[in-house]
Amino acid sequence: MRVLAAMSGGVDSAVAAARAAEQGHDVTGIHLALSRNPKSYRTGARGCCTIEDANDARRAADVIGIPFYVWDLSERFHEDVVEDFLSEYAEGRTPNPCLRCNEKIKFAAVLDRAIALGFDAVVTGHYAQLRRDDDGLIEMHRAEDMGKDQSYVLGVLTQEQLTHSMFPLGDSPKSVVREEAARRGLAVADKPDSHDICFISDGDTGGWLSEKLSEVNRDGQIVSSDGEVLGSHEGSWRYTIGQRRGLRIGTPAADGKPRYVLDIEPVSGTVTVGPRDQLAVDGLSAIRPRWCGAAPAADLECTVQLRAHGDEHRAVVRVDGAAVTVDLVDPAEGIAPGQAVVVYDGSRVVGSATISATRRMERTA
């Protein structure tokens, strides 16, 4: 097949491209220039968004012996990922930019262009596995290395996109990938993994949001769950559901235990805090579902994952058109609107949706 390898400049995408070439595919490497000004995003060898990352990707392509190009998708990335991130936080939600990037950039803009240019598939270094079922449909499953599994951030992919995707690392532990990179002579073999949000240079999400949203007035009060005013803040985007540190409310709780953010009201800017046991939720409502195959036709007893590196929770999922209801058999804590709920049937990814509301567990006396 004629395939396009998306090369971030990190070890995973380099080895994925090398494996695809070794399997006999006609591979072309590309690096996505996602920043209007590379110095305005991440600096240092972090595997995303920098000039040195583009150079690392080019050197890896030279070692593998494949053509290499840089595609400028900075405008699309800024509009679909960065601006979306800002608007979501301004409305009191907690988005995951990696899901949005996969949905809008890597497996939409890139894949669409690749197919238009005559490529059959896009290869990435994501840790997930693809299998063909008895009906010929492509299923996505968790990676063998659960510590590196990235199926959660790929849960936005449709059947059409999965049909044109390749994940060569899904059956390999990360340690094996690094050893293979060294054996192949790839200089990125020991390059650190990227962490945090790629477009926030110093990892200070709150400070970055405050700078970008300075004209949005979200000052407000910090109140207890029974309505007592405990303090004030200068921006509701500095907080997320489940947050414990940095509340700066001074007065300790009556029982002396820590308080956590329970709710963020974006219009008034009110941030509600309370004890940890009030964080537990046993139900979710979600919107904008994206199914990896057919949508569940009936109530689905399954598991769901609510964070990129979170635990699985047993659940029952009901789908009514564009509305998804999730009853959690295993309650979860610190779940915020804007996060993704990804549905699994065993190791198979069924699909995902964006959490719009949560249902808090009733407290027993």
User: What is the set of active-site residues?
Assistant: 101, 198
Tell me the sheet residues that pair with 224.
Answer: 273
The span from the CA of 308 to the CA of 339, in Å, is 10
> Contact 127/170 with Cβ under 8 angstroms?
yes
> Contact 226/233 with Cβ under 8 angstroms?
no
C-beta neighbour count of 39 within 10 angstroms: 11
> What H or E segment, with its residue span, contains residue 123?
strand 121-123
Candidates 349, 223, 358, 337; CA nearest to 291 is: 349
The span from the CA of 358 to the CA of 218, in Å, is 22
Candidates 265, 261, 317, 329; CA nearest to 291 is: 317
Backbone angles phi, psi at 11, to 5 degrees: -70, -35
> Contact 324/285 with Cβ under 8 angstroms?
yes
Candidates 130, 144, 131, 150; CA nearest to 173 is: 144
Q: What is the CA radius of gyration of the chain?
A: 22
Residue 37 DSSP symbol: S
For 141, half-sphere exposure in the C-beta direction (CA atoms, 13 angstrom radius) is 16
> Contact 19/166 with Cβ under 8 angstroms?
no
